[in-house]
Chains A and B, each alone.
Chain A
Amino acid sequence: MGDVIMRVENVGVRFGGLWALSGVSFDVERGAVVGLIGPNGSGKTTLMNVLSGVLRPTTGAVYYGGKKIADVPTHEVCRLGIARTFQIVKPFANLTVLENVAVGAMYGRDGAKRTTSRAFAAAYELLERVGMARIADRPASELTTPDRKRLEVAKALALDPEVLLLDEVMAGLNLAEVDEALRLLREINESGVTLIVVEHLMKAIMLISTSIVVLAEGKKIAEGTAAEVTTSQAVVEAYLGSRFADRQARLAEMRREAEQSGRGAS
């Protein structure tokens, strides 16, 4: 980890009269796993849409490789090195699993150099990597939810990205599937891909992130390591309300006093 590869600067998005995001800024370091969390409606998906170039921010900008992402047409974003998965997974239903991934391999970052057969070969390798090689010839319409999610990831990987944006990729998975997903993500990260992960599953985010950004009502309210973020008053307040946050603070205070007096006693 080290140098900054993506810079989010004062990003704001307005829909009609509502600011879905305002004044969001943070840096993404190469090789990091950035967890993006926040209560429902906090603007996570909107932010993902801005980061992946699908949505143009009303104010501010996202810089990647020296360029503003918003200035790049949608189909060129993958050539910058950014890939994403979608929350609502809709694969190419009438194509096989292999063909689904091959499309990305044909048109993604290295796509122009690849012939169809090389693209299919690359796609097959990717399927082996995510553990779907045995169902390569099955129509995508027949897949189960976890398999669809894995296909989504494989398709994104086919673009040979530097940064992979994952939007709620673990939603709908059971515990065993989540563990498998985490293993896969870690493996991807270790192979050199920077991850930005939006998740509702706290445990997953805590386990995998090197740094966490917390959004609430469109604003960034905390940033830091898992430990820093979970003890932040602002975060607790955002998720559980101010009364709970106050009570937690008082309880922590009481515990500290009890410890001190306990130590004092012995």
Chain B
Amino acid sequence: MRRVGVGGITGSREAFYATLVLMGVLLFVPQLHNGYLENLFRGILMFGAMSLGWNLIGGYAGYVSFGNVVFFGLGAYTAAVLSAHGLHNVLVAVAVAAVVAVIFATVFGIPILRLRGHYFGIATLGLALATMEIISNLDYFGGGTGLTVRQDAFFSLYYYVMWAVCLGSLLATYAIARSKLGYAFVAIRENEDAAAVLGINTTFYKVAAWAISGIMAGAAGAVFAFANGFIDPDTAFSTDNNIFPIVMALLGGAGTVAGPVTGALILTAINETLWSHFPKIHTIFFGAVIVLVVLFLPRGILHLFRARQTARVFLESLRAYRV
């Protein structure tokens, strides 16, 4: 009978359940008492949340943001500023970061989301760069040197909170994809003018999508600030933090629920492998990886499995956009 959403705009149900299982497994990483692994998987969870966030505005709503790192950075600085004023509670920091993200997304979203395509992309990039610049210039935020954040004695706390942020983002994405909200986003992506005529208040829903994506990235940023113990403009607003979530979403499958986390896992694995084998030039390889992913897997790995004809999909991708 009529399926509501699942399979359509959520991607495969199996992949979602597999991701939940993965999350369950990841819950036990701190038990291994291995600092390196804990950092590694906390990173995956962090990027998972950020990628899920990007996925909402870029994958579902179709507004390709090239500056979502601004939310991550603001979240990180929120935590740092709170800590500088004596509030060292990571959960409070996450909550405040979420509020900051919503306010920021609303204030800047209303003008910027009027732009489409390339213009929106570059405007968000400009926004991220400008915000980073302004923060670097203000002493309140520690200027170029940054701020330190006091860490709790129970360090694995930050792993668990990051895990919760990632899980929360995953479940929120799933809920959205099955709901009217998800359809509003996708309708805007597919044909924004038609969506408006069908009764969708496009401005409201676009801002909502961006705000939710901001909450996910901002929460991740807040936890990161604590886990890292220190935050400065280059760390908070780094290009890696900006681009990785996008590539991860693309790699896993943009516009699906399971894609971003899958992509986060795979890309981190690739990155770590490259780093350990080619410490000096791994970024070059990474650039090559991005190029290859874009050329050969534009619809993500999960699409590959759905298609079941791997070679044909590869070639199709190559030929689809040629002149």
Contact = CB atoms under 8 A, between A and B. Distances in A.
Are A and B in direct contact (Cβ within 8 Å)? Answer: yes
A94 B5 contact: no
Given A117-B4, A120-B2, A103 B197 contact: no
Nearest to A115: B180
A63 interface: no
Given A99-B183, A106-B180, A106-B183, A84 B197 contact: yes
A93 B194 CA distance: 12
B4 A92 contact: no
Interface in A109-163: 109, 111, 116-117, 119-121, 124, 136, 155, 158-159
A154 to B, nearest CB: 12
Interface stretch (A1-9, A75-83, A178-186): A75-83
B312 to A, nearest CB: 18
A93 B197 contact: no
Contact of A116 (B4, B195, B200): B4
B201 interface: yes
Contact of A74 (B4, B9, B180, B197): B197
A226 interface: no
Contact of B198 (A78, A90, A95): A78
Interface string B151-183: 000000000000000000000000000111001
Contact of B197 (A77, A92, A95): A77
Interface in B183-221: 183-184, 186-187, 190-191, 194-202
Interface of A: 52, 54, 73-79, 83-84, 86, 90-96, 98-99, 102-104, 106-109, 111, 116-117, 119-121, 124, 136, 155, 158-159
Contact of B199 (A84, A96, A109, A121): A109
B248 to A, nearest CB: 21
A108 B198 CA distance: 6
A181 to B, nearest CB: 20
12 contacts: A75-B197, A75-B202, A78-B198, A90-B191, A95-B8, A95-B187, A96-B8, A103-B200, A107-B180, A107-B199, A116-B178, A155-B194
B199 A159 contact: yes
Contacts of B195: 103
Given A91-B191, A96-B8, A116-B5, A102 B198 contact: no
B8 A104 contact: no
Interface size class of B (residues with CB under 8 A): 20 to 34
Contacts of A117: 2, 4
A107 B184 contact: yes
B196 A74 contact: yes
A113 to B, nearest CB: 12
Contact of B186 (A74, A86, A95, A120): A95
B186 A92 contact: yes
A104 B2 contact: no
Contact of A92 (B5, B191, B196, B199): B191
A54 B178 contact: no
A103 B198 contact: yes
Interface string B130-142: 0000000000000
Contacts of A121: 2
10 nearest interchain CB pairs?
A92-B190, A107-B199, A78-B199, A74-B196, A120-B2, A104-B198, A75-B201, A108-B199, A75-B196, A106-B180
Nearest to B195: A103
B190 A94 contact: yes
Given A92-B187, A120-B4, 15 more contacts: A74-B196, A77-B197, A84-B197, A92-B186, A92-B194, A95-B187, A98-B2, A103-B187, A104-B198, A104-B199, A107-B180, A107-B198, A116-B178, A117-B4, A159-B199
A124 B3 CA distance: 11
A95 B184 CA distance: 12
A136 B187 contact: no
B197 A54 contact: yes
A159 B194 CA distance: 12
A124 B196 contact: no
Nearest to B184: A107
B186 A94 contact: yes
Given A116-B5, A120-B2, A124-B2, A86 B199 contact: no
B301 to A, nearest CB: 18
A134 to B, nearest CB: 13
Contacts of B196: 74-75
Interface in B1-36: 2, 4-5, 8-9
B9 A95 contact: yes
A205 to B, nearest CB: 24
A120 B184 CA distance: 14
Contacts of A52: 197
B176 to A, nearest CB: 12
